Amino acid sequence: MELSIFNILDILGTIAFAISGALAAMDRRLDLFGIFIVAFVTASGGGTLRDILIGDTPVNWMQNTIYIYLIGVVTVLAIIFRNKINYLKKSLFLFDTIGLGVFTITGVEIGVRSGLDPIISIALGAMTGTFGGVLRDILCNEIPVIFRKEIYATACIVGGLVFVIMHSLGAKLDVIYVTTALIIIGIRLVVVKYHISLPYYYISEKP
Amino acid sequence: MELSIFNILDILGTIAFAISGALAAMDRRLDLFGIFIVAFVTASGGGTLRDILIGDTPVNWMQNTIYIYLIGVVTVLAIIFRNKINYLKKSLFLFDTIGLGVFTITGVEIGVRSGLDPIISIALGAMTGTFGGVLRDILCNEIPVIFRKEIYATACIVGGLVFVIMHSLGAKLDVIYVTTALIIIGIRLVVVKYHISLPYYYISEKP
Amino acid sequence: MELSIFNILDILGTIAFAISGALAAMDRRLDLFGIFIVAFVTASGGGTLRDILIGDTPVNWMQNTIYIYLIGVVTVLAIIFRNKINYLKKSLFLFDTIGLGVFTITGVEIGVRSGLDPIISIALGAMTGTFGGVLRDILCNEIPVIFRKEIYATACIVGGLVFVIMHSLGAKLDVIYVTTALIIIGIRLVVVKYHISLPYYYISEKP
């Protein structure tokens, strides 16, 4: 694994998602091992789903040991600094958004590289970006937050769309990565700052 | 993808399951994107599990873009007509049953075609038919309805059994499809009409 | 499938996990089919995840019909003797621990045999040993017990570590199996007897 911009972003994303998983697990008062599991699942779940759907096995974290060590270290640090991290929720939010952006990009790129249809590649990217958080919430027995708050996955989809368009126009990969990541991060920052949310619908009880 | 009877039934099943997912999501007051996700997972979950277990990757919906577009359109229509659909629960129930039957058949057929043991093919069929609904209920944080009501999966198993028997007797595939689908639909209609349920057992608290 | 010590332990493990799933399902008052599903998922979930992650498909239970029959028989017996089994919780606990140990070993061994890094093999073993129980708890809509009680997965990890060390020292496979299984069983027995638990951490609400 060489250290390209891509890999650096990937590692940042893994760290951010691992922290978010560890925080959720401590919030649920899980024990040491439970915290590690939730951190691991949150950080590696998206990439694992991506690799399984595409048939690229053994999955990525089984081939690069760096992820398991990284998540272990992050878990320990998250436990030690748990009350401080809580204050740092804003920077956590930023890291989480970086992770969302980067993991989305890995999914879209692998889809495009595998010759899949652009819209399928975008769906794969959105799943890669969001599935870790969904698993985290299922393990913690809550309705996945992705369904409740902010335009979380929508940012992935818009970013994925830009990725696919730039790619079909022949833009350089590095440029695509940075642009797409900035778009996803930007959308999420704006959405949360201005409390924008998608409309929701419900079935009227007395028609 | 050519349009055989099989494909037409498959598309009907996808539509029905997508509607059922969208309704469940609106009942939970999820936002626009959440509704689409639950509809997508409900409609494609069974086939995805089938393809992953059998090792046929990239999974089916990644290779045929029609599914993702279809589910998107169904989601929008389900939102627009949400209160009307609610009145139409009986026809939804019929569509859902068609989906159950058809998806079961795809699973059994792929199992048989892959040279798996008949009972394994039936299990694969039952999983293909029911897993989408299980995922839907897990995402919506409920005990899967499959465990609580009606002889849902049992219908799949009986249908799968008939499929395997007819196949071993050398019947034509078209005939097998239609017969098996009608049996599954028939069982479910009768079971629900006459409130038949499987026995349940529990551990007595004071022995 | 020849009957080595390994296979015998594997079958014992399948039986134990199937009983544990059936008991959990009866506790939730699921119907006959629901009980079978939960028993099946608990007993085969770990091995299925292992095979999917590693890319060894169709997964194991699809290639050896013995598992599906075995789980079916165990489910029926568990229902018939449900109140007696409840008294036998101690022997169930022992069986469950045997299953945990054996399934962990299958995961570690397959990881090592596939040329994966030792720590990845241990992780694969721990997942194989514990995932069935996690699925059981998710299906029954509870926070996975693995996160709440005893040093469940930690025993797997210690056992996996011993497996990897003995393997790298060139010990015979049979010896490794028995030693590792005994270590996992021993740790769990001691931990439960003396109420040892891992520390847990939480975020202080008023810092």
Interface test with B, best of C27, C30, C67, C79 (most B CBs within 10 A): C30
Mapping DSSP to helix (H, G, I), strand (E, B) and coil, where does residue B141 land?
Answer: coil
pLDDT value of residue C206 = 46
Q: Which residues on chain C are in Cβ contact (under 8 Å) with B199?
A: 31-32
Share of chain B above pLDDT 90, in %: 24
- Pick from B27, B29, B65: which is nearest to A117 by CB? B65
Which range, of A185-194, B169-178, C149-158, averages the lowest pLDDT?
Answer: C149-158
Residue B205 pLDDT > 50: yes
- Greater confidence, B141 or A206? B141
CB-based contact B83 A203, cutoff 8 Å? yes
Q: Which residues on chain B are in Cβ contact (under 8 Å) with C43?
A: none
Residue B96 pLDDT > 50: yes
Average pLDDT on B10-32 reads: 83
Residue ranges in chain A assigned as alpha helix (H): 5-27, 32-54, 60-63, 66-80, 82-87, 89-113, 118-139, 152-168, 173-193
pLDDT band at B68 (very low <50, low <70, confident <90, very high): very high
Mapping DSSP to helix (H, G, I), strand (E, B) and coil, where does residue A200 land?
Answer: strand
pLDDT band at A154 (very low <50, low <70, confident <90, very high): confident
Average pLDDT, chain C: 82
Average pLDDT on B130-137 reads: 84
Q: Which chains touch C (3 or more CB pairs under 8 A)?
A: A, B
How close A162 gets to chain C, by Cα (Å)?
Answer: 31
Q: Which residues on chain C are in Cβ contact (under 8 Å) with A33?
A: 147, 151, 153-154, 198
| Contact criterion met (CB below 8 Å) for C120 and A68 | yes
Interface test with C, best of B145, B154, B201, B203 (most C CBs within 10 A): B201
Residue B85 pLDDT > 90: no
pLDDT value of residue A69 = 93
CB-based contact C79 B201, cutoff 8 Å? yes
CB-based contact A62 C141, cutoff 8 Å? no
pLDDT band at C9 (very low <50, low <70, confident <90, very high): confident
Average pLDDT on C106-114 reads: 89
Average pLDDT on B116-122 reads: 92
Interface test with C, best of A27, A28, A30 (most C CBs within 10 A): A30
Top mean-pLDDT range of A91-95, B163-167, B187-191: B163-167
Omega of the bond leading into B207 within 30 degrees of 0 (cis): no
CB-based contact C201 A55, cutoff 8 Å? no
Residue C136 pLDDT > 90: no
pLDDT value of residue A88 = 59
Mapping DSSP to helix (H, G, I), strand (E, B) and coil, where does residue B31 land?
Answer: strand
- The string of DSSP letters for A19-33 reads HHHHHHHHHTT-BHH
pLDDT band at C121 (very low <50, low <70, confident <90, very high): very high
Average pLDDT on C144-163 reads: 75
pLDDT value of residue B91 = 62
CB-based contact B29 A202, cutoff 8 Å? yes
pLDDT tens readout for residues A32-72: 877 888 899 999 999 999 999 999 889 989 988 999 999 99
Q: Which residues on chain B are in Cβ contact (under 8 Å) with C48?
A: 53
pLDDT value of residue B51 = 92
Identify the sign of the CA torsion B177, B179, B183, B189: positive
Q: Which residues on chain A are in Cβ contact (under 8 Å) with B82?
A: 201-203
Q: Using the structure block, give the residue that is written with the tokens 């890094």.
A: C117
pLDDT tens readout for residues C43-86: 999 999 999 999 988 898 998 899 999 999 999 998 888 877 66
Q: Which chains touch B (3 or more CB pairs under 8 A)?
A: A, C
CB-based contact B33 A151, cutoff 8 Å? yes
First vs last Cα of chain A: how many Å apart? 59
Q: Nearest-5° angle of CA A75, CA A77, CA A81? A: 120
Which range, of A119-123, B18-22, C30-34, C93-97, averages the lowest pLDDT?
Answer: C93-97
How close C159 gets to chain B, by Cα (Å)?
Answer: 28
Name residues whose C-beta falls within 8 Å of residue B90's C-beta, 6 or more positions apart in sequence.
none
pLDDT value of residue B207 = 41
pLDDT value of residue A45 = 92
Interface test with A, best of C201, C203, C204, C206 (most A CBs within 10 A): C201
